[in-house]
Structure 1
Amino acid sequence: MSNPYKEIFSVPGTKAFSAAGFLARLPIAMAPIGIVAMLSQTHGEYWLAGAVSATFALTNALIAPQVSRLVDRFGQAAVLTPATIVSVLAFLALIAATHQGWPVWTLFASAFLAAAMPSMPAMLRARWTELFRDRPELNTAFAFESAADELVYIAGASLSVGLAVALFPQAGMLISTAFLAVGTLAFVLQRATEPAVRHVAGSAPQKSAIRLRPVQIITLALVFVGATFATAEVSAVAITKDLGQPNAASLVIGVYAIGSFVVGLVLGALNPRMALQKQLMIAVAVLALTALPLPFAGTVPLLAFAVFVSGIAISPTFITAFGLVERRVPAAMLTEGVTWVTTGIGIGMALGAFVAGWAVDNFGAQNGFWVSVAAGLGAALTIGIGQRVLAGQDPDDGIGALAQAAE
């Protein structure tokens, strides 16, 4: 049996842009936690560290789709270069402000400007789509990207905090910024695999991808999925602390990501032929069902096992969601469409962490997982209700006319 991953990487340029893209997207995980680690050590105030980190994360969630919309219109190299320069300079200003003790407002201003950081997962998926559009290899490529995203979140956050603690407070942010600069430069220099710019015909201005109903449905569903991801992390930390084994939190969180990572790679190798909207429905249904035992896991081994099982549907959800975006969004706005979906994940993680933290504070560590249960049901309901639209059977979804106009 042939190795599907070997096949997709046999195409010239794929290994190079994947390696560069992996470096360039490490800051997605490193920067938010790196800001917290840096400021909590230098200023001694967790509220300030959290507020500056949230300023960066939420602003990036709003700006990244606009950057991607410009990429769809003008190309990756033309937009990623200035956006990354702005982000890198702003990160350096934030590091300097922390080291030099500049006024607090400079921290927030730097974090706001650093949010110009582009969505590298969207750029990578756009390149894979350009190479394998309407071919089964695309599902394998998306499976690889979902696995790589898992690795970024596993390694990036740990690396950022570890450097800040082991070396000096700004170390994690310095390395994160270097990865962003070097990785993006190496990525944009590879012009041979850069997607072609496709314009929508006619004089009317191109609408935003978020106005397309499939993008709205998938983005909302992944807000719920992101909430389950963050809730697992917050609740695992709280429960292991209550059980007197706080060091076990990293193990529990690790098996959560590992389960998702392994299943995602397997799914990419199998390449099932079932309709993508049905695959997504199954994935979110499994996500909802496997969340049900979480509030009842009362020991570390049971918690680790329950979290491992609940994580198996994360990567399949992401793989099929991005596959549906590729099918239901015109090529002229694909990068923006993918970015909105990744933004949904980020927003869900921020909201999930907040709500789970509130639940833990008010109702106890074990009850934080009820947020996962509710979020899983929300994802399943959203995808279930949107099946006709995701299947392309709804005449009012607006996709047909746009697809005919796009070239």
Structure 2
Amino acid sequence: MRAYVSVWRLPSAPVLLLAGFAGRLPSAMVPLALLLMVQQQTGSYAIAGLASATLGIASAIMAPVLGRLADRRGPRPILLTQAGAYPLLLALLIAVVLGSGAVWLVLVASALAGMATPLVSGTVRALWSRVDARFRGTAFALDATATELVFVVGPSLVAVLAVAATPALAVGLAGVLALIGALGVATSRATRAYVPVAGPRTGMFATVRAPGMPRVLLSGSALMLGFGALEVAIPAFADAAGSPGLSGLLLAVWSLGSVAGGLWFGARVLSTSLPRQYRLLLLGVTIGLAPLAWISSPWALGVLLFLGGTAIAPTLTVQNTLVGSIAPQHATTEAFTWLSTIAVGASAIGAALGGALIEGRFGVSGSLALAAAGAAVAVAITLVPGRRPSVRVAGRREPVPA
């Protein structure tokens, strides 16, 4: 606990944690609320999954471009612009869906909202990468745990609002939270003091090709594709069990397991190398997801989701630490936006594939099996040989032990 107190006392830490939490809530609310809203209007999980995927892919395409711009000019003007645009575009999306607009119109509105998604996550992680190295690992652990807590509160809010009122209200609330979070991070002391690091002019994908980055990003893509399939499968599972209101609760239980694992992991100092920690934690996630396709009881599913979720926040903590260490110093925000991009984009693709599997002959079990397969592929990717990454130590770079 002392380690977390030390992080909390860092300059701007409370603002980054609290505003970052509010600004990230829409990422857990909008995909699920949009899925439920479109499904209610059209009666199709496939169309609903496609709309959610479109929103995610649009966000994924735009984020690295904005991250690159933030590294060169600072993230503040970008966040301030997005704080105004994102809520308005979410309002447009609600109007189109509830107005029973054509499918292509729903997809266009979803894409526009996705492109305006505030750059909160990439900015906050880039700022954490600049704190004292003694606190950086714990800061990333706390950040990952807070992010997982987002997926406890977010789906729970969506579930309550969907049952008590309408999923559209959850989308509207997400717009308000995004406004608060983006403004909070943009006006924080750390963001105002952000000084871009000079670096060479490179191609758009130079950061992605940095030693060590391809394997981290590809393995993260496979993992998040599986998570996207699971996030669609859980509402469908609850619906098939006759308790659609359980979907938010089951997603919250999954994230609570992750929060518990993240808090335990963040207070530990391990001697094992980061790549090895990452590989073992991915294996733990795979083991946790493997039995879900054979479960028929919502309560049994909840127990397994909690237990399997304990490996998620530790995995993301190590993943963030790796990216913060191996990314070029002049492109840290861009590196983290690539990480966010693959998370959102791969999750969106997983949601679309999961929705198609649910409506096909494989049903919900097929989407749950896809979740486990994605994590297994992530483990396999970490075993592929590649260039050894290096980390910054006292201003110089040293190889990361294999």
TM-score range with shorter-chain normalisation? Answer: 0.7 to 0.9
In structure 1, stretches of 5+ residues that fail to align are 393-399
Change (3 A) 1:74 1:347: same
SS at match of 1:209: coil
**Amino acid across the alignment from 1:324:** L
1:334 corresponds in structure 2 to 332
Q: Counterparts of 1:158 and 1:136 in 2: how far apart (Å)?
A: 35
SS at match of 1:94: helix
1:266 corresponds in structure 2 to 264
Contact 2:30/2:171 (CA < 8 Å) preserved in 1? yes
Contact 1:71/1:80 (CA < 8 Å) preserved in 2? no
Deviates more, 1:246-255 or 1:19-28: 246-255
Contact 2:29/2:155 (CA < 8 Å) preserved in 1? yes
Deviations 1:267-320 (A, max 9, x none): 111132322111111111222333333344454454333333322221111110
Q: Counterparts of 2:273 and 2:216 in 1: how far apart (Å)?
A: 15
1:333-372 → structure 2 map (5 Å cutoff): 333-360=331-358, 361-372=360-371
1:13 corresponds in structure 2 to 12
Change (3 A) 1:316 1:15: same
Change (3 A) 1:375 1:106: closer
Q: Counterparts of 1:20 and 1:307 in 2: how far apart (Å)?
A: 28
1:58 corresponds in structure 2 to 57
How far the C-alpha of 1:142 sits from its partner, in A, is: 0.9
The TM-score with structure 2 as length reference comes to 0.85
Q: Counterparts of 1:103 and 1:401 in 2: how far apart (Å)?
A: 55
Contact 1:121/1:145 (CA < 8 Å) preserved in 2? no
Q: Counterparts of 2:30 and 2:184 in 1: how far apart (Å)?
A: 20
1:120 corresponds in structure 2 to 120
Contact 1:59/1:112 (CA < 8 Å) preserved in 2? yes
Computing the radius of gyration from Cα coordinates, the structure with the larger value is 1
SS at match of 1:130: coil
**Amino acid across the alignment from 1:116:** A
Q: Counterparts of 2:376 and 2:56 in 1: how far apart (Å)?
A: 26
Q: Counterparts of 1:318 and 1:172 in 2: how far apart (Å)?
A: 27
RMSD (Å), alpha carbons: 3.2
2:304 corresponds in structure 1 to 306
Q: Counterparts of 1:212 and 1:21 in 2: how far apart (Å)?
A: 27
How far the C-alpha of 1:158 sits from its partner, in A, is: 3.1
Q: Counterparts of 1:256 and 1:33 in 2: how far apart (Å)?
A: 15
2:382 corresponds in structure 1 to 383
Contact 1:34/1:172 (CA < 8 Å) preserved in 2? yes
Q: Counterparts of 1:225 and 1:4 in 2: how far apart (Å)?
A: 29
Change (3 A) 1:248 1:13: closer
Deviates more, 1:243-252 or 1:90-99: 243-252
Q: Counterparts of 1:241 and 1:41 in 2: how far apart (Å)?
A: 12
Q: Counterparts of 2:357 and 2:41 in 1: how far apart (Å)?
A: 30
Change (3 A) 1:194 1:139: farther
How far the C-alpha of 1:388 sits from its partner, in A, is: 5.3
Counterpart selection for 1:182 from 180, 194, 198: 180
Deviations 1:52-109 (A, max 9, x none): 4332221111111111111111101122222333333322333444566777765444
1:66-81 → structure 2 map (5 Å cutoff): 66-81=65-80
In structure 2, stretches of 5+ residues that fail to align are none
Same amino acid, percent of matched pairs = 28
Change (3 A) 1:173 1:370: closer
Q: Counterparts of 2:167 and 2:306 in 1: how far apart (Å)?
A: 32
How far the C-alpha of 1:137 sits from its partner, in A, is: 1.3
Q: Counterparts of 1:247 and 1:41 in 2: how far apart (Å)?
A: 14
SS at match of 2:361: helix
Change (3 A) 1:16 1:365: closer
Q: Counterparts of 2:108 and 2:367 in 1: how far apart (Å)?
A: 33
1:318 corresponds in structure 2 to 316
Q: Counterparts of 1:196 and 1:232 in 2: how far apart (Å)?
A: 37
Deviates more, 1:354-363 or 1:111-120: 354-363
Contact 2:220/2:343 (CA < 8 Å) preserved in 1? yes
Contact 1:215/1:341 (CA < 8 Å) preserved in 2? no
Contact 1:30/1:156 (CA < 8 Å) preserved in 2? yes
Answering whether residue 279 of structure 2 is matched by residue 281 of structure 1, we say yes
1:223 corresponds in structure 2 to 221
Deviations 1:221-277 (A, max 9, x none): 111211332344444455556666666555543332221110111111113232211
Answering whether residue 69 of structure 2 is matched by residue 82 of structure 1, we say no
Answering whether residue 142 of structure 2 is matched by residue 140 of structure 1, we say no
How far the C-alpha of 1:330 sits from its partner, in A, is: 1.3
Contact 2:29/2:158 (CA < 8 Å) preserved in 1? yes
Contact 1:94/1:110 (CA < 8 Å) preserved in 2? yes
1:397 corresponds in structure 2 to none
Change (3 A) 1:299 1:130: same
Count of matched residue positions in the alignment of Structure 1 and Structure 2: 393
Contact 2:75/2:191 (CA < 8 Å) preserved in 1? no
Contact 2:212/2:386 (CA < 8 Å) preserved in 1? no
SS at match of 1:261: helix
**Amino acid across the alignment from 2:20:** G
Deviates more, 1:314-323 or 1:378-387: 378-387
**Amino acid across the alignment from 1:293:** P
Q: Counterparts of 2:229 and 2:205 in 1: how far apart (Å)?
A: 34
Deviates more, 1:379-388 or 1:270-279: 379-388
Contact 2:34/2:52 (CA < 8 Å) preserved in 1? yes
Change (3 A) 1:184 1:235: closer
